[in-house]
C-alpha cells in the first residue's frame, strides 16, 4: 500500500534466506511450538470449539529501532494520563463528537448512554483504562528532514573526519635524523594511516544513517507516528508475549541464542491482568467476580482465556465469568446499591472484549445490557467515557494545535506527545472540514479515511477515497476523519500461515507496534498508571490493514537495533 522502490529497508536480525532444509525443519517445529504455547486461534473457515490453528507468525523477529521503541515505552504513562483526562472532560467529548453523532448511529448510541449516565451521576467513579497505543515508524518523518538533522556541535561527520586527519597529521610531525628513525617513522605513519582508515570506516558506518537522512533519503531508523489509540478490547496481551516466545525458540534453534538479549521483555499479560486485579481490590468485596464481555463466537480465544487462566492461577480467590451482551441482558440486574448481579454473583470489574462494533449489538437488548452495566457499581474497562475518548474523532481533535495543553501541564510532555501525531483532519461540515475534503480529492494517495469504528476493515485508502467521499452528503462526512498515510520502512522475512506455502517465501513486510498502558482512577485522582508491555503485528507491505484474526497480519515481536550497529554482524 504505502511502500515504493524508495522505501528504506531495516536490516534483518539474521542473514536470510535460510538454507531450504533448515527452513523447512525450523518452520515445522515453530508451528508446533506456536500451537503448544497458545499462539493460536480458532479457524474461521473450519470453526470448531474443540480445535485451534496456530496464529500466523513471522519466523524471526522484525527489527525495530531501539531508541524509538524506548521512546514509545517511556511515553506510555503520559499517554495514559492524557486519555484519562480526556475521558473525564465532559465538555471536550461533547463538543468534539457533536457533529459526528448527528450522522453516526453507533457513536450516537454510545453517546446517549454517556448522556444518561451523566444525568444521573456516575455510580462508580473509578475507571479502569487498559489502553493500547498503536504506532508505525514513519520513514518520511518531517522532523528528520535535512534541515532538522543539522548535527549538534562536535557531531558533524566532516568535522570528525577532519579531526581524525589532524590527529594523523600530528603523529607524523617531526623530522628523522637517521635512516632508522626514518624507517620507524614510515612504519608509524603506515600504522597510523591504517588506524585512520579504520576510524573513518567506523565513523562512516556510525554516520551512514545520518548521511542518508541529510541527503533527503527516507530513513529506516526514523521517528514513529501514532496510528490510533484503543481504549476498548485492546487485544494481544497474551499473543504479544507469545510471539516473543516462538521467535526466541526459533532464533535459538537456528544457533543465534546470542541475539536474544535484543528482544525486549514483554509482560503484557501480567501487566493487564494485574490491572484488572488492582481494580478488583479497589472494589473491595472478596466474593465479587471479574466479568469478561465476549462476542458470540471468540475466534481469538487464546488472547482471552490466557487472561482468565493467569488471573485464576495467580489469584485463585478471584473468579472470572464470561458472558455475551445478550446473556448479560438476560441474567443481569442491579442490586440495592446498584451492584451488578449475575444470578447470585456480584460483579466487581467488567472487562469488555466485545461491544466496540455495531454487529455486537443485535437488538435493543444488548444496548440495554450495556446501559445496565454502565449504571452499575462495577468498575468498567472501559467505562463509557473512556470508550468515547478512544474514538478516531477524539484522536483527530487531540492532534489540533494547542489542544493538548488542555490535558497536559508539562510543556516538555506536550511537545513529546505532539510529535507522535501525523496529520489528522476533520471532515465536519465547516470551512476547515471542506478544505480537508478538497485536499483529499486532490491528493487521495496521501491519505486514509477512517470512520468511528474499531476492529479493522473499516477504513478507505488512497485512490478509493474520492469515490467514497463523493457518495457521502456534506453532513455524512463528519462521521469520518482524514489522516496522513504513514510510510513505514520495510523488513524482509518469512510469514508462516496455516495452510501457507512450505517452505514459506521471503516477503516484504511492515510492522505496527502497540504499547499497552494501564491507568486507574477517577476524575480527580489517578491511583495506578503504568506501561504494560507491547505487541508487534506485521503484514505484507502490499496490504492496507494487518489484522491477525482478519487473516492479513502475523504475530511478531521487536528485535531492537541501533543505527550504528555493525551491518556485517550477522
Ligand atoms: P481499527 O480501529 O479498525 O483498528 P486503525 O486506525 O487501527 O483502525 O486502522 C486499521 C489498520 O489500518 C492499522 O492497523 C494500520 O495497518 C492501517 N492504518 C491505519 N491508519 C494508518 C495510517 N495513517 N497510515 C498507514 N496505515 C494505517
Ligand atoms: Mg487498530
Residue by residue, DSSP assigns 107-125 as: HHHHHHHHHHHHHH--S--
Rounded Cα–Cα distance for residues 283 and 123 (Å):
12
pLDDT value at position 316?
98
Residue 440 phi/psi, 5-degree rounding, is -65, -35
419: exposed, middle or buried (Cβ count in 10 Å: 0-12, 13-18, 19+): middle
Ligand 1: nearest atom to the Cα of 543: 16
**Are the CB atoms for 129 and 230 separated by under 8 Å?**
no
Nearest bound ligand to CA 132? 2
- Give, for 126, the enclosing helix (H) or strand (E): none
Please identify, by atom number, the ligand 1 atom nearest to the C-alpha of residue 134.
Answer: 7
Q: Measuring CA to CA, which residue among 274, 290, 229 is closest to residue 87?
A: 229
Q: What is the pLDDT of residue 182?
A: 52
Name all residues whose Cβ lies below 6 A of ligand 1. 2, 134, 227-228, 448, 450, 453-456, 458-459, 483, 485-486, 512, 545-546
Q: Which ligand is nearest to the CA of 448?
A: 1
| C-alpha 234 – ligand 2 centre gap (Å) | 9
- Residues around ligand 2, an ion, CB closer than 5 A: 228
* Averaged pLDDT, groups of 10, the chain, 570 residues long: 76 97 98 98 94 97 98 98 98 98 97 97 97 96 49 31 31 39 56 52 48 70 94 98 98 98 98 98 98 97 98 98 98 98 98 98 98 98 98 98 97 97 96 97 98 92 97 96 97 96 96 98 98 97 81 93 64
Count of alpha carbons within 13 angstroms of residue 549, beta-carbon side: 16
Output the pLDDT for position 220: 80
Query: What is the atom index within ligand 1 of the atom nearest the CA of 546?
Result: 16
Closest C-alpha to 13, from 71, 68, 66, 69: 66
CA atoms of 186 and 164, how far apart (whole Å): 19
- What is the spatial distance between Cα 36 and Cα 50, in angstroms, rounded to a whole number? 15
Give the three cell numbers for residue 121. 451521576
d(C-alpha 9, C-alpha 505), whole Å: 17
CA of 545 to the centre of ligand 1 (A): 6
Express each pLDDT in 470-527 by its tens digit: 999 999 999 999 999 999 999 999 999 999 999 999 999 999 999 999 999 999 999 9
Give the number of whichever ligand sits closest to the CA of residue 140: 1
- The answer to whether 259 and 14 are in contact (CB under 8 A) is yes
pLDDT score recorded for residue 548: 80
- The neighbouring-strand residues paired with 484 are 447
Q: How close is the Cα of 455 to the center of ligand 2, in Å?
A: 6
Ligand approaching nearest to the C-alpha of 136? 1
Hey, which of 138, 235, 453, 545 would you mutate to test ligand 1's pocket, going by the most ligand atoms within 8 Å of its Cβ? 545
Pocket test of ligand 1: the residue of 134, 141, 448 to mutate, having most ligand atoms within 8 Å of its CB, is 448
**Strand, coil or helix: 302:** helix
Upper half-sphere CA count for residue 337 (Cβ side, 13 Å): 8
- Residues 6 or more apart whose CB falls under 8 angstroms from that of 401 comprise none
3-state class (DSSP) for residue 293: strand
Ligand 1, atom nearest to 539 Cα? 16
Alpha carbon 546 to chain centroid, angstroms:
12
Distances in whole angstroms, Cα of residue 271 to Cα of each of 217, 321, 530: 39, 20, 9
> What stretch of H or E contains 471?
none
Render pLDDT for 377-425 as a digit per residue (tens, 0 to 9): 999 999 999 999 999 999 999 999 999 999 999 999 999 999 999 999 9
Is there a contact between 520 and 528 (Cβ–Cβ < 8 Å)?
Answer: yes
Atom number, ligand 1, closest to the C-alpha of residue 447: 23
CA of 80 to the centre of ligand 1 (A): 20
Contacts of 391 (CB under 8 A, 6+ apart): 97, 100, 107, 452
How far, in Å, CA of 37 to CA of 47, rounded? Answer: 20
Place of cell 534453534: 253
**Cα of 454 to ligand 2 centre, how many Å?**
7
**Confidence (pTM):** 0.88
Q: Which of 274, 276, 300 is nearest to 289 (CA)?
A: 276
Place of cell 486507574: 520
Between strands 289-294 and 345-352, the pairing is: parallel
Amino acid at each position: 500500500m504505502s511502500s515504493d522502490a524508495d522505501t528504506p529497508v531495516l536490516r534483518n536480525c539474521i542473514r536470510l534466506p535460510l538454507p531450504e532444509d533448515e527452513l523447512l525443519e525450523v518452520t515445522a517445529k515453530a508451528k508446533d511450538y506456536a500451537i503448544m504455547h497458545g499462539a493460536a486461534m480458532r479457524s474461521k473457515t473450519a470453526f470448531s470449539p474443540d480445535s485451534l490453528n496456530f496464529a500466523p507468525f513471522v519466523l524471526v523477529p522484525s527489527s525495530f529501532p531501539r531508541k524509538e521503541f524506548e521512546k514509545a515505552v517511556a511515553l506510555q504513562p503520559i499517554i495514559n494520563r492524557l486519555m484519562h483526562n480526556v475521558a473525564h472532560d465532559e465538555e471536550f467529548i461533547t463538543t468534539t463528537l457533536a457533529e459526528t453523532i448527528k450522522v453516526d448511529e453507533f457513536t450516537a448510541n454510545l453517546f446517549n448512554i454517556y448522556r444518561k449516565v451523566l444525568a444521573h451521576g456516575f455510580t462508580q467513579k473509578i475507571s479502569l483504562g487498559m489502553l493500547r497505543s498503536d504506532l508505525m515508524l514513519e520513514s518520511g518523518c518531517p522532523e528528520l528532514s535535512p534541515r532538522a538533522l543539522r548535527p549538534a556541535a562536535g557531531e558533524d561527520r566532516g568535522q570528525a573526519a577532519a579531526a581524525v586527519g589532524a590527529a594523523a597529521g600530528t603523529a607524523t610531525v617531526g623530522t628523522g635524523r637517521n635512516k632508522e628513525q626514518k624507517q620507524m617513522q614510515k612504519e608509524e605513519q603506515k600504522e597510523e594511516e591504517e588506524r585512520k582508515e579504520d576510524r573513518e570506516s567506523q565513523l562512516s558506518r556510525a554516520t551512514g544513517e545520518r548521511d542518508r537522512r541529510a541527503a533527503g533519503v527516507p530513513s529506516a531508523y526514523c521517528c514513529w507516528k501514532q496510528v490510533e489509540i484503543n481504549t476498548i478490547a485492546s487485544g494481544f496481551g497474551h499473543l504479544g508475549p507469545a510471539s516473543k516466545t516462538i521467535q526466541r525458540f526459533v532464533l535459538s534453534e537456528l544457533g543465534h541464542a546470542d541475539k536474544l538479549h535484543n528482544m525486549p521483555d514483554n509482560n503484557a499479560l501480567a501487566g493487564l491482568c494485574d490491572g484488572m486485579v488492582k481494580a478488583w481490590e479497589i472494589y473491595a468485596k472478596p466474593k465479587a467476580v471479574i466479568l469478561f464481555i465476549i462476542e458470540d463466537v471468540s475466534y481469538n480465544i487464546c488472547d482471552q482465556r490466557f487472561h482468565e487462566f493467569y488471573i485464576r492461577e495467580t489469584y485463585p480467590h478471584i473468579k472470572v465469568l464470561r458472558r455475551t451482551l445478550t446473556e448479560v441482558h438476560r441474567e443481569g440486574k442491579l442490586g440495592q446499591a446498584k451492584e451488578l448481579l449475575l444470578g447470585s454473583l456480584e460483579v466487581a470489574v467488567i472487562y469488555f472484549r466485545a461491544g466496540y462494533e455495531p454487529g455486537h449489538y443485535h437488538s435493543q437488548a444488548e444496548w440495554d445490557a450495556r446501559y445496565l452495566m454502565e449504571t452499575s457499581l462495577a468498575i468498567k474497562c472501559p467505562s463509557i467515557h473512556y470508550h468515547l475518548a478512544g474514538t478516531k474523532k477524539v484522536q483527530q481533535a487531540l492532534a489540533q494545535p494547542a489542544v493538548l495543553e488542555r490535558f497536559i501541564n508539562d510543556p516538555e510532555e506536550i511537545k513529546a506527545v505532539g510529535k507522535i501525531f501525523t496529520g489528522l483532519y476533520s471532515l465536519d461540515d465547516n470551512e476547515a472540514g471542506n478544505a480537508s475534503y478538497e485536499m483529499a480529492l486532490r491528493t487521495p494517495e496521501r491519505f486514509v479515511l477512517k470512520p468511528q469504528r474499531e476492529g479493522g476493515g473499516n477504513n478507505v485508502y488512497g485512490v478509493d477515497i474520492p469515490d467514497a467521499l463523493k457518495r457521502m452528503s456534506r453532513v455524512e462526512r463528519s462521521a469520518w476523519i482524514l489522516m496522513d498515510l504513514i510510510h513505514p520502512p520495510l523488513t524482509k522475512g518469512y510469514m508462516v500461515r496455516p495452510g501457507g506455502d512450505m517452505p514459506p517465501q521471503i516477503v516484504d513486510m511492515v510492522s505496527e507496534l502497540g504499547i499497552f498502558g494501564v491507568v486507574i482512577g477517577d476524575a480527580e485522582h489517578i491511583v495506578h498508571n503504568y506501561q504494560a508491555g507491547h505487541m508487534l503485528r506485521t503484514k505484507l507491505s502490499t496490504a492496507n490493514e494487518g489484522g491477525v484474526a482478519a487473516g492479513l497480519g502475523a504475530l511478531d515481536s521487536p528485535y531492537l537495533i541501533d543505527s550504528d550497529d555493525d551491518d556485517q554482524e550477522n
